[in-house]
Chains A and B, each alone.
Chain A
Amino acid sequence: MALPTRRDVHRFWRLMAVGVRTHVLYLSRSGLELVMAVFAPIVFATLAVYLFRAGDQPDRLLQAAVGAGLMGVWSAVLFGGGGAIQEQRWMGTLETLVAAPTRLSLVLLPITFATAVVGMYSLIATVAWGVVLFGIPLTPASPLLFVPAMLVCVVALGMMGLLMAATFVLLRNANSLANGLEYPVWMFSGVLVSTATLPEWTRPITWALPTSWAARAVQAATGGGEVVWPSAVALGLGLAYVALALVALVWVERRARGTGTLALT
């Protein structure tokens, strides 16, 4: 395989920029998405704050809000990424995307990053609601690393989303898969409750999820602890997921062309 030229690299970044802009614009114009974007963070923030207050840990309210926000990011990536592919199938655009002379991975990457950007908004909104409604003090332990840790989290989730998207291209009833993945990943990633409370056998799953490392970094930036190392692991795992997705997508595209699942009919 030939090395990418300067033109290829330039085209990659243009495609990412135009793709993310297009899909963020598209997602932001959905009435349902807008309502969800306003109310879901309030619900997440409320649940988290009351859970932690009831658990006699009022000092960890910011961590609770951030954890709740991370739940929102994962939901956005899972349902946004998966839902976006499913919606493209319903709209008939999935076929036009696949018929374009651009590798499917490069077509899907901006879609998953667009959903991660929406997820990022969800995280910020959840923390903001926590501050405004419940008076949570916005005093992260590592103020300088707080924002970079959140960005790493969004990027890692976007990369993980690409592998999810590959599955959604293949399956016509992908929504049922998304429903089944939402809560386990929250749990195994320890976004709200520490994974230390989970049984020993869940550890390998936890370690394999970029979300758990990203969540650990964000929680550390909020409440204190090592931020850089878990962020690096989250990014590394995210890159591994991308590599896996690139290989999978070649097979997925061929299989989808073989089974005829790109369209509804």
Chain B
Amino acid sequence: MTTDLAIEAENLARSYRTRTGWLRPQRKTIEAVRGVHLAVGRGELFGLLGPNGAGKTTTIKMLNTLLLPTSGTARILGYDVARDALEVRRRIGYVFGGDRGLYERLSALDNLRYFAELYGVEPREQLPRIQELLETVGLSGREKERVEGYSRGMRQKLHIARGLLHRPQVLFLDEPSIGVDPAAARELRRVVADLVAGGTTVLLTTHYMAEADELCDRIAVIASGTLRAEGTPAELKDRVRKLDVLEVEVHDAVGPEHLQRLRDTAGIEQATVETSGTVDVVTVHARPSHGTHAAVLAALADLRTGKVTTREPTLEDAYLSIINGTTTGSA
């Protein structure tokens, strides 16, 4: 089956039904993903960004055949994820972040041997392939140790090695760098970049904007189960380039009323706050105007303000702007 697209999704949706209580059960339907459209070309590195509970993992699990869509269709390299699950599984790898997903009481080598068998790697190819992957992810020499003694970064590397055993054409990476230290995260990024250079299609979900900015050819932002925006990192940043980004250090606690006051101010598109050490940093996205600076400080007049800086918008600004509904539609 030949197609230029590695991943296609049309109107993909998934809902869950939950039930609470026994005597008078309350049934609720949760719409986790609502009508997602995706088209990822072969050899592309596509990022799926979104807050917790946005529907990223549910989307990935539908694409990798672990969940059936409630409606809509999806194809991997032309194979339908619902009907041709086995064909899809032969061609994909799935790596997720965190501590789970490995046999803790077994060594990395035993884990990889078992999965090599399950993934149908030819017997005579298994050991050389395992050695090659251990080398690639930097676990050579530690493969005989039990996984329970591994650090988070080492487990993540082992996850990646497991996902690559059968040389998948499409790789799903679901938050692979979660909880990994910066050095290990950089190593992971190198491995992912090498894979894409070798022709593997990668769909990556991450919370780290710098990671997405550095790696992804294209990015889609998902929130509340719907795609809010799609484009290259540069295109997404362009959406907020027309806005000034002001950061104000505040030495008192910033309350919701202050943020609301800022949002109600003419010319201000978005206002968020983040605590950094002993200060709260208020980030304001505002349309360029001579009066913005003064208007922001006026809205925070009852607080002790410190340094005020203006900077270039980043992918994170674009992301926050999209998530908060300031800008919508395709880039």
Contacts and interface: CB of A to CB of B under 8 A. Distances in A.
Interface string A19-48: 100100110011000000000000000000
B118 A107 contact: yes
A101 B101 contact: no
A257 B67 contact: yes
Contacts of B67: 257, 260
Given A93-B102, A101-B119, A22 B86 contact: no
Interface of A: 11, 14-15, 18-19, 22, 25-26, 29-30, 91-93, 95-103, 107, 254, 257-258, 260, 262-263
Nearest to A106: B118
24 contacts: A18-B114, A22-B103, A22-B110, A22-B113, A25-B106, A26-B105, A30-B105, A91-B101, A91-B102, A91-B103, A91-B104, A92-B96, A95-B66, A96-B101, A97-B118, A99-B65, A99-B92, A101-B86, A101-B90, A101-B118, A101-B166, A102-B118, A257-B67, A260-B61
A163 to B, nearest CB: 21
Interface residues of B, number: 34
Given A15-B117, A107-B118, A262 B68 contact: no
B89 interface: yes
Contacts, number: 81
A18 B123 CA distance: 11
A92 B118 contact: no
A13 to B, nearest CB: 11
Contacts of B114: 18-19, 22
Contact of A98 (B66, B110, B119, B162): B66
Contacts of B90: 101
A14 B68 contact: no
B120 A96 contact: no
Contact of A91 (B100, B119, B146, B166): B100
B22 interface: no
A22 B90 CA distance: 22
Given A18-B114, A254-B68, 5 more contacts: A22-B113, A91-B101, A95-B66, A262-B66, A263-B66
A18 B113 contact: yes
Contacts of B110: 22, 25
Contacts of B46: none
B105 A100 contact: no
Interface in B54-102: 61, 64-68, 85-86, 89-90, 92, 94, 96, 98, 100-102
B150 interface: no
A11 B103 CA distance: 22
A262 B96 CA distance: 15
Contacts of A15: 117-118
Contacts of B166: 101
Contacts of A263: 66
A2 to B, nearest CB: 14
A98 B66 CA distance: 7
Contacts of A100: 89, 115, 118-119
B74 to A, nearest CB: 13
A26 B103 contact: yes
Given A29-B105, A258-B68, A101 B162 contact: no
Contacts of A257: 65-68, 85
* Central interface residue in B86, B100, B162, by most chain A CB within 10 Å: B100
Contacts of A254: 68
A170 B92 CA distance: 24
Nearest to B117: A18
Closest 9 CB pairs of A and B: A92-B100, A101-B89, A92-B101, A29-B105, A100-B118, A101-B90, A22-B114, A18-B117, A257-B68
B54 to A, nearest CB: 14
Contacts of A260: 16, 61, 67
